[in-house]
Structure 1
Amino acid sequence: MIFEYRNKKITGLLTIVPKNIRTFDEEMENYKADKARNKRLKMVMGYEQHRMFDDDVCVSDIAVFGMEYLFKEGLLKKDEIDALILVTQSPDYFMPATSNIIHGRLGLPEDVYCMDINQGCAGFLVGLMQAFALLDQPTVNKVVMINADVLSRKVSKADRNSYPLVGDAASITIVESCPEENLIQGEIRMDGSRAEMLIIPAGGFRTPSTQETAIMHEDEEGNSRSLDNLVMGGREVFYFVQTEVPKLIESLLERIQMPKEKIDWWMFHQPNKFMVDKLAEALDVPYEKMPSNIVTYFGNASGVTIPTNVVYNIGGKLEQEEYKICFAGFGVGLTWGALVMDVCKLDFCRLIDM
């Protein structure tokens, strides 16, 4: 699907990460592979450390913490907010929507529109698209789009394929209408026939969590996980990303007649360093324009990796300069997409810890 938006802009970005840090070296004893192989993986995949919230911290807690920070710093006012979008795969409850929980805890006005979106690796893009669409309404001028996930507790600590990579985080993106003429262009695609490539098999209504679903099973590579844990087809996901994502981005750039040299930054979702570096090679983009260091320092917090990528690598610059950025997200669903837009002189572009 092709998307185009006019007279919309991002005016602020805040990422919230946990203070709790765990290193790959500390956790190596959890994995059955020999230490030499683990160290090779550490170098190639970008394993170093990841950040995780305590088990009693939920998505609404992180969102409220970040929003109250913005209120306190004078970067956002409650009466300015017309809509609140939450993108998460780890809601506080099945019902009600976690966006309503956040709304209530913050004491926002009754006419603020709230919405939950269940999306993962491409969630930053999906959330932006929904925010841009809402801004077409005459009474909507400012949308708060929150990405947040605490998926670390759904990944087995004995799963070397996934646990060294996973992290928790949240981001708050302020999206507004603007009088200046501009154009945002994007594409997104989905393939539900391959949904089982990234899945938590149990815990929903299809397969409720039971004592049986909590039983750990070891795979042929020595990784142990239960049906309550995330399972990822690593090779299949890698092949999907390397074949589908470059095709989509090449298609988008050709359609909008945008030479690659005009893109200042390629801010991509970061499953791991190896995968992002391979995408840079496939697209013939310099490594320095497509950062791949987020998993190394924070872990993969699903869709939050994109805003974390922005604030960590170019946050200070974006408060002063203007850049043309290609955002891309890909993964669970399967969902993959990209947006090309100008981002300039943000009111704030910060990373804080909780």
Structure 2
Amino acid sequence: MRAIFQGKKITGILSVLPENEVFFEDEVENYNFPSQQTMRLKKIMGYEKHRISKSTSASSDLCVFGLNDLLRKELILKEDIGAIIVVTITPDHFVPHVSNIVQGKCELPLDVLCMDISQGCTGFLLGLMQAFLLLDIMPNKKVLLMNVDVLSQKVSKQDRNSYPLIGDAATITIVENDRLARDIYFNLYMDGTRGDSLIIPAGGSRLACSEQTVQMQDDGDGNLRCLDNLKMDGTSVFNFVQTDVPPMLCETLDYAGLKKEDIDWYLFHQPNKFMLQKLAERIGIPREKVFMNIVENYGNTSGATIPMAIVHNLSNELLSNKRLCCLSAFGAGLSWGAMTMELGDLDFCETIISNF
């Protein structure tokens, strides 16, 4: 699908991290592989450390912590909030929804619209799309987009394919109307026939959690996981990113009437450094314009990686300057998309550490 959004902008981004920081070297012995072999991945994939939430922490905890921080600093006022959109694949419960929990715990007005979207890697783009649409019927309000996952709780610590790169975090993005804002161009594709490439087999209505689904098994790749854990077909995902994403991104730039060199920064979802390096080469854009440092500092935080890349790399620059950016995400679903938009003149762009 393609869409053009007019008169919309991002005015602030907050990144909320768990306090627990774990280094790659400290987990090498978890895996069913020789330590020396595992350590080679550090340089190739860009592994260094990741943020892991406490086992007792839930997605709403990070969101509430972040929103209360914004309210306390008066970076957002309760009466200005028209809607909360929470994008997550690790909800606290099936019901109530995370957005309702946040609205209740932060004591927001009863007319604030609460909406959860179940989406992983492309969750920031889909969340922005929904926020833009809501702003058309909320001209004098702001929308809070919260991307959050505590995915480490769904990944086996003995799965070298997935656990070293997983990170937990939340981001809160303020989206509002601005009639002078530059047009935003959006392009999105989805292919459910390849959905098994990234899957958590148990826990839903297809297969409920049970004594059987927690049994750890080696399914032939040397990694130990159970049916309650995330399973990723790394080769399939890598080929998908290298094959499907480049033409989609070039198509998006054409749609926006832009050339590759017109873009100041390419803000991509962060699966791992190696995949992003190969993707930049395939597209034909300088590596210097593609940030690749989120996994090594925080881990792959699912739908929160793009706003985290903005905060980590551009926080000072975007407070007083404007930059033309291309945002692109790809992964679970399978889904892949891109968005061109101008970012800058932000009210805030910062990271805080929670006690979760």
TM-score where L is the length of structure 1: 0.98
- The residue type paired with residue 301 of structure 2 is A
Shift of 1:138: 4.7
The aligned counterpart of 1:33 is: 33
The aligned counterpart of 2:202 is: 202
- Rounded to whole Å, the distance in 1 between the matches of 2:176 and 2:257 is 26
- Rounded to whole Å, the distance in 2 between the matches of 1:119 and 1:221 is 27
The aligned counterpart of 1:245 is: 245
Instruction: Go from structure 1 to structure 2 and tell me whether the alpha carbon gap of 1:138 and 1:40 turns closer, same or farther (over 3 Å shift).
Output: closer
SS at match of 2:153: helix
Instruction: Check conservation: 2:139, 2:177, Cα contact below 8 A.
Output: no
**1:175 maps to 2:169:** no
**1:337 maps to 2:327:** no
The aligned counterpart of 1:315 is: 315
**1:73 maps to 2:73:** yes
Instruction: Go from structure 1 to structure 2 and tell me whether the alpha carbon gap of 1:239 and 1:140 turns closer, same or farther (over 3 Å shift).
Output: farther
- Rounded to whole Å, the distance in 2 between the matches of 1:263 and 1:182 is 14
The aligned counterpart of 1:110 is: 110
Shift of 1:94: 0.4
Shift of 1:140: 5.2
Instruction: Kindly report which structure 2 residues correspond to 1:248-263, keeping only aligned pairs within 5 A, or say none.
Output: 248-263=248-263
- The residue type paired with residue 109 of structure 1 is P
SS at match of 2:120: coil
1:21-62 C-alpha deviation (Å, 9 max, x unpaired): 111111000112222221211110011111111011111111
- Rounded to whole Å, the distance in 1 between the matches of 2:110 and 2:21 is 38
Instruction: Kindly report which structure 2 residues correspond to 1:1-354, keeping only aligned pairs within 5 A, or say none.
Output: 1-139=1-139, 141-354=141-354
Percent identity over paired residues: 49
- Rounded to whole Å, the distance in 2 between the matches of 1:166 and 1:12 is 25
Shift of 1:283: 1.3
Instruction: Check conservation: 2:6, 2:179, Cα contact below 8 A.
Output: no
SS at match of 2:116: strand
Which runs of 5 or more residues in structure 2 are unaligned?
none
- The residue type paired with residue 160 of structure 2 is R
Shift of 1:256: 2.0
Instruction: Check conservation: 1:83, 1:140, Cα contact below 8 A.
Output: no
- Rounded to whole Å, the distance in 1 between the matches of 2:226 and 2:233 is 15
Instruction: Check conservation: 1:198, 1:233, Cα contact below 8 A.
Output: yes
1:135-176 C-alpha deviation (Å, 9 max, x unpaired): 111555310110000010110010000000000000000000
Which runs of 5 or more residues in structure 1 are unaligned?
none
Q: What is the RMSD computed on CA atoms of the aligned residues?
A: 1.0
Count of residue pairs the alignment pairs up: 354
- Rounded to whole Å, the distance in 1 between the matches of 2:180 and 2:252 is 23
- The residue type paired with residue 144 of structure 1 is L
Instruction: Check conservation: 2:185, 2:255, Cα contact below 8 A.
Output: no
1:303-329 C-alpha deviation (Å, 9 max, x unpaired): 111111010011111101100011111
Instruction: Go from structure 1 to structure 2 and tell me whether the alpha carbon gap of 1:181 and 1:22 turns closer, same or farther (over 3 Å shift).
Output: closer
Instruction: Check conservation: 1:135, 1:177, Cα contact below 8 A.
Output: yes
- Rounded to whole Å, the distance in 2 between the matches of 1:52 and 1:122 is 21
1:180-231 C-alpha deviation (Å, 9 max, x unpaired): 1520001001001111110000011110000001101113231000000000
Instruction: Check conservation: 2:9, 2:181, Cα contact below 8 A.
Output: no
- Rounded to whole Å, the distance in 2 between the matches of 1:233 and 1:269 is 18
- Rounded to whole Å, the distance in 2 between the matches of 1:285 and 1:38 is 30
Instruction: Check conservation: 1:22, 1:50, Cα contact below 8 A.
Output: yes
- The residue type paired with residue 188 of structure 1 is L
- Rounded to whole Å, the distance in 1 between the matches of 2:181 and 2:342 is 11
- Rounded to whole Å, the distance in 2 between the matches of 1:48 and 1:125 is 27
Of 234-243 and 134-143, deviating more is 134-143
